[in-house]
Structures are given as structure tokens and as C-alpha cells.
Structure 1
Amino acid sequence: MKNKILISLLFVLLGGCTTIEISESDAFDPHVTISADQFPIHSYTLHDLNIETVDGETLDAWFLEREGADKTVIYYGGNGFLMMKSRPLIDAYADVPVHLLMIDYRGYGRSSGEPTVDGVKTDVRAAYNLAKNDLPVESGPIYVHGHSMGSFLAAYIADNEDVAGYILESPITDVDSWTKRLVPGLLRPFVSFDIDDSIKAQNNIEPVKRIIEPLLIIGGEQDEITPFGMAEELHEKSSSDIKRLVKIPNGNHNDLPDSEVYRDALIEFFGDK
């Protein structure tokens, strides 16, 4: 979606005013991928699961069981996330004694259906219900971790379900603020956005004001997609008594799990519980 917006901004420079359309389909980037048996995962027992949603879709899911773990983290990726791309994340959690549950949203990987905002919210609820009631082992306290678009989903679950804490990585405050930050100040009089209502309604500011469970926010110093200022704003407005904001030096939007600072932040966050 960002590439589409940048191309539109180029036309602004060349030809004057424009309206940039952001439809619901622009928010998702599904792909078909290979299966888990072609992706060795160390330190875990991998359970390749199917999750049935209430509206009839079947989601591909991985439950990474870790011996001795007493907590479960549900990870909600960004719009381009696939479980087959999750090795850096899995490595980042390697020294954290938690089970890890991931899903491919509807239309992604081997999951059925087509992604929509309401549909993906149904998916993340289905993953939460699986973690709560039907994992191969006892889940223990449940945490949610969302990256980029997935930060909306993690906050949505933390706001509506019983979680022990939540992590927002490269988070977005709200869609209006995000689109404005994409446009240089001098161009703003010439640019407007026509955004689908389902996308425009996504907001992390109000949920973090309500959620009181422990919060870890992680952002990249060099992130041009979701600037670190958004992470700072959410941290400031959070009502959590236990909250921490971590800036990854030289971090961009998608490479934060490679950082030792990121991994140490996870260890500290879960070690405090």
C-alpha cells in the first residue's frame, strides 16, 4: 500500500492536486506459501493446526510448544506477514520461556477466504479462543503481540478479552494520522485521501487508554512506515501501570526482531511477570 501512495505523490509533484484512494483490499497482502514441514524450527515442538472460524473459514496455524513454558503468546503479523516468514521472530523468542501461536489470516498462505477488516478480526478472535480452550498443552496466561497492522488486532483483543499483557511493535496510532505522516507538509494542501470506512475506523489510541494490562511498545529509530513518534504517543496515552517503550537503534519497519535490544526487551517483559 505504501508504494501505491508514493507513486500517487509523484503525480502530485508532476500534475497538481490529487485524491489517493485507499480501499479495504489495499490493507492486505496475501500470498500462498509452502508447508511447515519444509521449515525446520529449533527448540520447539511444532503443531501444525487448523482453526475453524465462526463464519466458516479455515485458518492455517502454528503452535510452537516449548518445554517448561508457562505462558502463551499469540502473534498477529502485519499486512505482509506469513508464518513462513517468521524465522526472525521465532529466533527472537528463542530465549523466552513461552509457547508461541501464529496464524495466517484468511486468504494468506493456506488459509481459506479473502481478507477483510471484519474477517481478520474474526480470525484473531478464533486464534484467541483456540489458545484459551483448545491447545495441545495448558496455555497459562495469554499475551498478544501485534506488528504494524497487527498492532490494531493485538490491541483489539487486549481491549475485549482476558490477556495478561500485550506488545505493540511498529504500531500505528490511527489511520488518519498515519496517512498525514506519509505526505510531506508542503504537499498536504494538494493531497487528500479517500479511505474505506472499514480502514479509517482502525485506531489504537482509544484502546490503549482503556487497557490496564502490562504493555511493551517497540519501534524502530529509522522506521519510515510507522514513525517512532507513533509509538511514543501510544506509550504516553496508555493507562497501563506497567509499560515500557523501546527504541531500536537504526531499526526499520520489518527488521526489529534481528536486534539484540529487541530480544532483551522480550526477556525483560516476560521475566517481570
Structure 2
Amino acid sequence: MPSPASEGYVSVAVLKTLSLTFSVAGLLYNAQDYLLFHPDDNQSRVFVHTPSIVDLPFEHVFIRSLDGTLINLYFIGQADGRSASVPTVVFFHGNAGNMGHRLHNAAGLYCHLDCNVLMVEYRGYGLSKGHPTEAGVCMDAQAAIDYLGGRHDVDHKRIVVFGRSLGGAVAIDLAARPEYSAKIWGLILGNTFTSIPDIATALFKWPFLTVLPIFCYKNKFMSKLKIGSVMVPTLFISGLSDSLVPPLMMAELHRRSGSAHKRLATLSAGGHNDTWTCPGYYPTIADFLSEITEYLPATPPVSSSPSVLRSVVTAV
């Protein structure tokens, strides 16, 4: 039978362990925005390349997100009045830098797919105002779709949502919402993760993360739970040389997807940030868009377009 002294010692040890655990969890909770969102690299909050550097005409647009936050967009439309007769790809980028760092990928989509591209700058990134949070960037995505709904020079039946890495999680959240799914023709995901808890465990390999309760995560991006509600045609593009997001996560998202038309395309040489440069990347997307012609949505409901505060058209 343990003595009262030993019982007291055990109680103190348990309390200290619990205290340390909750302290670490609290620090991690409050630091998560800084661990996940990286908008400040190389002065990217003050300098954003425009599509003119890749010889594309564009509109520099500022709109209000759903909560009033000012966000920045680039609308890169096909010339000669063709923007209303081609698909429009809504581009959600990864967690670092700004949309100007993805212009060459956007130019590839524009040229190889003969489409318009709407590039979306999350709150707290580039010239957009505010601070990035999970709820906030998802609202920004919804505002971007609403903005397209108010344009008369796009084909509202051929809106394609495209997301890389963090942008894939944002895109999944958007496509899983019934009111927005009805406005989306197709979904394209590149090297994205199943959830923040999963990717944190994979990256940091700290044993305690495997038992950390979900409520300890400020940002969750539970894509693996949302993807089952995604019914639109979906293309998963997985770079098998990705050393950041395990390719198995893309395979799991594909398996869990609720879409009746889903396809997993793998590119063996593709790393996390350069899969878009691999041979076969753009033809894979072009083939997917050809395949889903029969899935064109019914006439989408009219959107209440957010306020456009400024739109500047730049020709090249």
C-alpha cells in the first residue's frame, strides 16, 4: 500500500506534467497563425509582381470580403472579347509569399488551357488587408466566387477552382459548401494535405502531437473530412517527389472524395513547389477539362457580387 507521501509525490508529478503539457499546447495554439501563414517573406507584403511581367493583360481589382476585409485580385482575361467563351480558373496559392510569385504557373494555365485566370490574394498577404486565419481565407475564397458571379464577361457554367498546397485546403472548403458547389464546374488540387493535425505530425514528428486533442489546433483545415462532401469533378495532381506534403495524403483525399468523376494524376519528378513545371502537367489538366464537359452545371444562381472598390485594366 503506497504511503501518503508517495501518493502526494505522484499527484505533484502529474500536475506538473499536465501543467507543462497545457502550457506547451497554449503556446502552440497562439503561435499557429505564424507557423502556418507566411506572407512576409522578402518584403512580399509591399511588392507584388503584376501579370505584365509575363506579358498578360489584366485587371487589378480590390473587393470587400464577406466580413468587409479589403482583398486584392488579378483578373487575367483572354483577349479579343473571348473571355466569355472560355473557362475561368480561380487560383488559390500556397502559404508563403504572394500571388505575384505564382504568375508563371498562372501564365501556363492561361496559355495552355486557353482560359481566364482569377488570382486571389488572401487577407494579410500581398496588398490585401487584414490578418490571415482559417475562417478568413475561406471567406476570401467565397468572395472571389461571388465577384465572378457579378461579371458579364465570363462563362458562369465553366468556373474551375484550382488550389496548390494551402490553396488546396481553401479550395476544398469552398467546393464542399453547397451554395458554392453549385457554381463550380471542376476542382483541381495540387500537393495539398489531409489536415493541419496530420501535416503537423508528419513534418515535426513530435510524439505528443499524435495524442494532442483536436481543440488544441487553432487552424484545422480538415480537408479529409470535407472532401466527402465535394461532388464536383475533381482532379488530384500529386508530385511523388514532394518532401513536404506526403503524396499518400493526396491519395487519401482522392479515396475519400465524394465526386463521381475523380482522377488522381501522379508526376514522379514533381516536388512540392515545382510539380507545375513537370512535363505532362498542363496536358493532364487539359484532358480533365475535356472529360468533364458533360458535367456542366445548371445555370448558376445569381450572386450578390461584393463591392468592387477599384478595378484598373492593364493591357500589354
Q: Same fold (TM over 0.5)?
A: yes
What is the TM-score of this pair, normalised by structure 2?
A: 0.72
Choose the corresponding residue for 2:218, options 182, 192, 198. Answer: 198
In the alignment, the residues of structure 1 paired with residue 129 and residue 208 of structure 2 have an alpha-carbon distance, to the nearest angstrom, of 42
Name the CA shift for 1:79/1:222 in 2 (closer, same or farther; >3 Å).
same
Answer 1 or 2: which has greater strand percent.
1
Maintained 8 Å contact 1:70/1:140:
no
CA-to-partner distance for each residue in 1:121-168, whole Å, 9 max, x for gaps?
111111111112236544442111111111111011111112111011
Letter in 2 for 1:32: R
Aligned to 1:223, the other structure's residue is in SS state coil
Displacement of 1:81 in angstroms is 4.4
CA-to-partner distance for each residue in 1:49-70, whole Å, 9 max, x for gaps?
1111232221111011014342
- Point out where structure 2 has 5 or more consecutive residues left out of the alignment: 1-22, 294-316
CA-to-partner distance for each residue in 1:205-257, whole Å, 9 max, x for gaps?
12221212111001111112111100111111112121111112221111111
Choose the corresponding residue for 2:77, options 65, 70, 84. Answer: 65
Choose the corresponding residue for 1:88, options 85, 97, 104. Answer: 104
Name the CA shift for 1:179/1:28 in 2 (closer, same or farther; >3 Å).
same
Name the CA shift for 1:196/1:26 in 2 (closer, same or farther; >3 Å).
farther
Residue 158 of structure 1 corresponds to 175
Maintained 8 Å contact 1:223/1:251:
yes
Name the CA shift for 1:40/1:105 in 2 (closer, same or farther; >3 Å).
same
Maintained 8 Å contact 1:219/1:231:
yes
- Point out where structure 1 has 5 or more consecutive residues left out of the alignment: 1-17
Maintained 8 Å contact 2:157/2:185:
no
Residue 225 of structure 1 corresponds to 244
Residue 228 of structure 2 corresponds to 209
Displacement of 1:34 in angstroms is 2.9
The within-5 A match list for 1:171-182 is 171-182=192-203
Residue 286 of structure 2 corresponds to 267
Aligned length: 252
Once the two structures are aligned, what percentage of the paired residues are identical? 25
What is the TM-score of this pair, normalised by structure 1?
A: 0.83
Residue 32 of structure 2 corresponds to 23
The structure having more radius of gyration, on CA atoms, is 2
In the alignment, the residues of structure 1 paired with residue 156 and residue 101 of structure 2 have an alpha-carbon distance, to the nearest angstrom, of 24
The within-5 A match list for 1:2-17 is none
Letter in 2 for 1:26: L
Name the CA shift for 1:233/1:96 in 2 (closer, same or farther; >3 Å).
same
